[in-house]
Amino acid sequence: MGERAFFKVQYGKELKTAKGTEVDAAKIFLGQANIPTDRALVFPNYNLAVRARASDTHLYQQLVDGFTLNIDNGYFQALPMLMSMLLKGDITASLVTTGQSDYLWTFSPSWTATNSQDSFTFEVGDDVQAYLLKYVMAKRITIAGGMGQNQAVKLSAECFADSIAPTTFTGALTLPAVEPMVANQAKLYIDTTWAGKGSTQKTGLLRDFSLEIISGLHPKFHGNGLTFDAHGETYIDAMLRLTLEGNSVADGYYDGFQARTPYAIRLKIPGSQIGSGTTYSLIVDLWGRFEEMAPLGSEADGDNLHTALFHGLYDTTGAAMLACTVTTNSNAV
């Protein structure tokens, strides 16, 4: 009998020139993953001259749609993998701090050309059986957290893959040391130009957030077998749900919502451990407008709160809608 205590998720980055070719796992992911079905058997309706419609099953296609990665206790070292299967990006700088090196990862997709996201091989299972998924890429990622709820930032990725096959775990991998992403550390910045993004922090305003980034990635079939042989890319989208303190600042953004005023919003989650030697952070910048805003939209402990949905738009001046950076001590996905 498989035991939940021995459940494990491991992964390795596939070569960009050989997506879908499995690789050995190189790292352990400390969150959860599911094993969805990768096939829907067809029961063909033939004329059998008996009181039964089918006498066999056929397999026409294999596709994993709905492979999810979830972790309620988000940590910075998981972000390079999660973001690189969603958006184009890589290490853009090596920063030296006391005692160790930091690495700045920049995820800024091209808005006019094909992007080059990474694909991964995952190994998921327990002490009885491991299962292998290839050509894993993310359709969307959600980053969420609530202030005053004694919680970490929650990370979730919805992915696709080409198939599922029994396998054995790659051995000799060590558990990662982690820097937690603490929800109470989240900071909100709101400015009026893309060039000025991240300049104006709004204190005493943010109560909780949920950021969803949609990659536009999807599998493509070209008659080369039961599994897809390539992936496509369509529109990138982003939405940020916010709960705001019901104060005069929030009322000002309600005026902006009614006036259709565009804003550059930065969500920043810095590291919290003192003396770790690394300046950890996740920074997501988003240009757009409030699509919805409800004054008195919710209540907590007798406080009235505004609820809002901010929707990303392409800024023709800044030539961008979304940008993301991650600083961590990890130099590989």
Q: What is the DSSP letter of 152?
A: B
Burial code (b: 16+ CB inside 10 Å, e: under 16) for 25-63 equals bbbbbbbebeeeebeeeeeeeeeeeeeeeeeeeeeeebb
Look at residues 118, 106, 138, 113 and name the one whose alpha carbon lies nearest to residue 20: 118
pTM for this model (two decimals): 0.95
Place of tokens 């091989």: 121
Give the Cα separation of 331 and 226 in Å (integer).
36
Place of tokens 């109560």: 207
What type of residue is 151? Q
Look at residues 119, 65, 64 and name the one whose alpha carbon lies nearest to residue 88: 119
Q: Is 40 helix (H, G, I), strand (E, B) or coil?
A: coil
The pairing of strands 217-220 and 187-191 is unpaired
| pLDDT tens, residue order, the chain (333 aa) | 889 999 999 999 999 999 999 999 999 999 999 999 999 999 999 999 999 999 999 999 999 999 999 999 999 999 999 999 999 999 987 876 655 678 999 999 999 999 999 999 999 999 999 999 999 999 999 999 999 999 999 999 999 999 999 999 999 999 998 999 999 999 999 999 999 999 999 999 999 999 999 999 999 999 999 999 999 999 999 999 999 999 999 999 999 999 999 999 999 999 976 555 568 999 999 999 999 999 988 888 888 999 999 999 999 999 999 999 999 988 899
